Amino acid sequence: MGMSASQARLLYLTAQLNNLSLKGQLVSDAKMRLALDTQQIQERYIKALNSSRLFLDTNIFTAGGMAAQSQLITLDNLRASGLRVSDGSKILGYNWEKVVTGTYQAVAGYVDGAPIYPLEPVPSSGFSAPPSGNAGFNANTATMQTIVSSTGLGTNDLEVMTYTTNINGATQNLDAIVIKSQEGFDAILAAIQNDIANGDFHNTLEQNFVFDDNMVVDMSNYTSAGIPYFQGVFDGNGVTINGLNGTQGLFRDLYGVAKNININGAVISAETDAIGGLAGYLGEGGIIENCNVTNVSITCTLHNTDYPEGYDSERAGVGGVVGYNNGSIHNTAATGTINVPYADSSFGYIGGFIGANVNTDYGSPNNVIENCYSDVNIYLGSGLDYSNSINGFIGDDTYETIINNCISLGSITNAGGFPINGTDLANWGPVLESNITNMMALDTRNNNSVLYWQQEDNPYFGNGQPMQPPTFLDETVNVPLVSGGNYNAQVWLNPGAPGYTDQIQTTAINNGLAVLNLSELQSQGLVNGQVAPNTSMDPIGYQQIPQYEMVDRYEMQLVEDPTFQISSRALEEGLRSGAYMLVKETDSEGTQTVSIGGVFYETIALDMCTMITDRSDENAMKKAEVEYERDMADIQAKDKKYEMDQKKIDTQYQAYLQEEESLKNVLSKNIENSYNTFKA
């Protein structure tokens, strides 16, 4: 063999040896992985042998008599045994839905009753020419004259005059711009908007305005953003403002006095953190007296992220009258709806009357809410837990005030129509912390039964006991219970029915509360300049007598959700971890009960439930044994193959190694001979 051929063969043998070494390493690695797989199979098998499952043990009737039955827990077999599963806010596998449970009377229409005569007007002798130095509330007579002159209107529309009024119990003689017509009102709004645009907040916004007796004005041509930083007196003198719509009520910020104003049918929608039917913010020292916000529709679209700049960077303050209150409110009412679709459990000061009270001046006459009335339905997002600062009257009452002679009605529900906080109490929410006297809360979704009342400092409304006056009940019906059976329910008169007002007032008397007649409370501020009806004149209308029809009565009941699915394993893990709890419906409240959707459930500890046992699953153990034997047989087969592969590699390696040694010896001798020849 030539010299070059030997060297080539030697290179080949070296490559083959390296390749066989690599194959040997791969086989060694595979055997190591096989050892790890063996360990995992053994651990899985041991875990299966030591694991346990929850079984429901029940007795069933068979053809041969009574027999024991044991099966893994499911929602269906738990329900069949009288048990349900809750996550704390709902019953798994069920929804609360409106179900027809009977009928009741409802107003179908009206017929004319007794005539209504006009009130004979009295000349507006309360206004007079302004004497010097009589402006009051930082108003300036000369400035007001300039404002009127700049409009170009005559005395039939606007005029500066002096009048006498009462503010917060004190008689005041004030100079004011008297608004006498729609044109005059439009001109004043234009002047205010012009000052705002120019950044001049010391002109119109510091003056006094009063309307002529019982005017009606229209704001439908405006998009209201609310008058900001108003510091004077705005006396409606019984004015009715129709058509208000936009992003705020009449005022954005009110630091002065608003009184004798009726705002009817306002539609307000905004993504901001302070919204009220009359004012977004009632500032320090601000006063609202004798005002009505009726049929208001407020929508706050603020999200719980990305807050715009405003009064509070973390809350939406929304109220039927005021969003944030830092002043006093007297003889004032609100009716309508508030919708906050993006509210959640940590977002929003929402109240039927006031969103949040932020007045820290407790005990001051500038921190009083009295003779007020709220009947506003609040609609929230999709959740159920809204216990944080939402209430039928004041959403957040952290800063205490004096509350006297007030009534709160209206419902609070989520987007699905379900009551919040897992309860059916309309005015449920954070406890009012103020000094409260003569406060009554009614649940308008439950036939106006009285829910809470109190006549002491710092009341906790949850201690109240409902008292229904039997005098005004018009029927007694049997109402079915969710758990079976029925109970006798007293049905109250419907709104508008004869005796309905007496029904509420009698309830107040029976509970030791003052009877509130809002019309009488407001009469001094809203009907100045009028006397008794003039029956010698033609009627201006007729009282409307309601006509009734029978309509379906709905109740919220627990209805099975066919789309809900949960495995036995997931159900078991939830019960073991505490994410779920076993409950059983009960008719009474106790220390071991929870309220879910207005129904009381007794909680049952997993380890105390005799129907459920925690033991090994025989079927699972048999399955684990089969899998173990199959997996180990596979491991052994693979191990045998790897042994054979390793022996084959070792044999080839030794053969190539011997040949390599022989070639090296031949090459060494050839080199030596060549050296000797060269040397000779």
Q: Residue 509 — pLDDT band, cuts 50, 70, 90?
A: very low
Least confident among 14-28, 150-164, 207-221: 14-28
Average pLDDT over residues 302-313: 55
Classify burial at 102, counting beta carbons within 10 Å of its beta carbon; exposed 0-12, middle 13-18, buried 19 or more. Answer: middle
94-135 per-position pLDDT tens digit: 887 878 878 766 667 767 777 767 655 544 445 666 655 556
**Mean pLDDT, rounded, for 592-621:** 82
CA distance 631 to 221: 82
Residues 640-665 have pLDDT tens digits of 988 898 899 888 888 888 888 888 88
Query: Please, are residues 551 and 104 in contact by the beta-carbon 8 Å criterion?
Result: yes
**DSSP characters over 564-583:** ----HHHHHHHHHHTSSEEE
User: Any idea what the Cα angle at residue 658 is, between residues 653 and 664, rounded to 5°?
Assistant: 125
Lowest mean pLDDT among 107-121, 156-170, 311-325: 107-121
Q: Looking at residue 493, what is its pLDDT?
A: 39
Q: Which tokens belong to 437?
A: 């006297």
CA-CA distance, 226 to 268, in Å (whole number)?
Answer: 10
Out of 172-181, 466-475, 608-617, pick the least confident: 466-475
**471 versus 167: which is more confidently predicted?**
167
Which has the higher per-residue pLDDT, 287 or 619?
A: 287
Residue-level pLDDT at 526: 45
Angle at 136 between CA 131 and CA 138, to 5 degrees: 120
614 has a pLDDT exceeding 70: yes
The per-residue pLDDT for 179 is: 96
Q: Report whether pLDDT(513) > 60.
A: no
| Per-residue pLDDT, 244 | 96
The count of other CB atoms within 10 Å of the CB of residue 368 is 21
Q: Is the pLDDT of residue 490 over 50?
A: no
Residue 159 pLDDT exceeds 90: yes
Q: How far apart are CA 508 and CA 520, in angstroms?
A: 17
For CA atoms 196, 201, 202, 207, the dihedral sign is positive
Three-class secondary structure of residue 161 per DSSP:
strand
The helix or strand, by DSSP H or E, that contains position 391, with its residue range, turns out to be: strand 390-391
Model confidence at 279, pLDDT cuts 50, 70, 90, reads very high
Phi, psi (degrees; rounded to nearest 5) at 342: -105, 15
Confidence of residue 385 (pLDDT cuts 50, 70, 90): low
- Measure the CA angle with vertex 366, ends 364 and 371; round to 5°: 105
Strand partners, 110: 546
Q: CB-based contacts of 341: which residues, under 8 Å, 6+ apart?
A: 299, 301, 379, 380, 381, 415
Task: Indicate if the pLDDT at residue 474 is higher than 70.
Answer: no
Q: What is the mean pLDDT of residues 586-593?
A: 79
Q: What is the pLDDT of residues 5-48, one digit of tens each?
A: 777 888 888 888 888 889 889 888 888 898 898 888 888 888 77
CB 57 within 8 A of CB 596: no
> Domain map of the chain by residue range?
3-51+618-679, 53-93+561-615, 126-211
**How sure is the predictor about 304, in pLDDT bands with cuts at 50, 70 and 90?**
low
The whole-number pLDDT of residue 132 equals: 52
Which pLDDT score is estimated for 339?
93
Q: How far apart are CA 179 and CA 190, in angstroms?
A: 13
For residues 600 and 587, is the Cβ–Cβ distance under 8 A? yes
Decide: 586 and 83 in contact? Cβ < 8 Å. Answer: no
